[in-house]
Copies of this chain bind each other. A is one copy, B any other.
Amino acid sequence: MSYGGVEAGGTKWVCAIGDGPGNVSATVTFPTTTPDETIGRAVDFFTDASGLAGVGVGSFGPIDARRSSPTWGSITTTPKAGWAHTDVVSALGHALGLPVAFDTDVNAAALGEQCWGAAVGLETFCYVTVGTGIGGGGMANGRLMHGLLHPEFGHMRIPHDTARDPFEGVCPYHGDCFEGLASGGSIRQRWGKPAEELHDPAVWELEAEYLALGLMNVVCTLSPERIILGGGVMKQPGLLELTRTRMRELLAGYIAAPELTDGIGDYVVSPALGDHAGVLGAIELARRAALDGEPRVDLRA
């Protein structure tokens, strides 16, 4: 049985067909433009496939993932122009006539990593992505994290030493929240260049400081067994190591676990599935929804 997966990002969408990392028969990637055009391209891709049992979507957010909500399946208050209150599930479900499973991009990636990657066998762990924005999700006690809505790691508040870094942050809601200070978008605006063109060590020491502060808060709040740290910004050579070192210093040995001291190299890790965690996790979302027999598609009239 084959499933469709969509990693619905704010910059690009990745669609794939298959049932796991060893068996992906087709993929396509296209930029995120308007909702109609973007969703239309996904529909075209999946329409060409035959025998799909369902589609899973891991989406940028915030999203409404409360199954009982009338707006379940939508992207809600995103600042991304044109995308606020976009009902992704209904649009895909109507056009394809298939059940659609829906979660955050980071929860989908976490699921992929738990099935086939860096979180196999773990019950409580996080997946954090540092790209244009910062997002986080994961599993708590063996199930994907939802709660009230879903985690929004990027919008936690962290210390901001304005003497060291007078930049005011880029978050339209909170200014200098975690995402406001440490996202790829903030790096570009603070230094006037995209991350990949910045080679001054001070740039990356500051970035590691913010990442370490944010991840320290994740450790203190959720107590994950591991943190998987993905996203485009983390491709900067040396940044992962700098972040681990600073995190260990900031934790200062208070939480007595070898994972947070000598073992931190196995505690904060890159996604084992690389850039494919999200779309593979989305395929797994679809597979699980089909197994559950739960009517995940909501074909509103």
Contact = CB atoms under 8 A, between A and B. Distances in A.
Interface of A: 62, 64, 76-77, 123-125, 136, 140-143, 145-160, 173-174, 176, 213, 216-225, 250, 252-257, 259-260
Q: A141, A146, A174: which has the most chain B beta carbons within 10 Å? A: A141
A130 to B, nearest CB: 15
Total copies of the chain: 2
30 contacts: A62-B255, A77-B253, A77-B256, A124-B140, A124-B146, A136-B221, A141-B142, A146-B223, A147-B222, A148-B219, A148-B223, A148-B257, A148-B260, A149-B256, A149-B257, A151-B220, A151-B223, A152-B223, A155-B254, A156-B216, A156-B220, A157-B213, A158-B159, A159-B160, A159-B176, A173-B253, A173-B254, A217-B217, A221-B222, A222-B222
A108 B216 CA distance: 24
Nearest to A84: B256
A55 to B, nearest CB: 25
Contacts of A77: 253-256
A141 B142 CA distance: 8
A217 B221 contact: yes
A141 B146 CA distance: 8
Contacts of A223: 145-152
A17 B259 CA distance: 38
Contacts of A146: 124, 223
A7 to B, nearest CB: 21
A211 to B, nearest CB: 12
Q: Give me the 10 closest cross-chain CB pairs, A-B, nearest first.
A: A140-B140, A147-B223, A124-B147, A221-B221, A156-B220, A173-B254, A141-B143, A156-B217, A77-B256, A152-B220
Nearest to A124: B147
A224 B252 CA distance: 28
Contacts of A154: 220
A20 to B, nearest CB: 24
B152 A254 contact: yes
A65 B39 CA distance: 47
B174 A255 contact: no
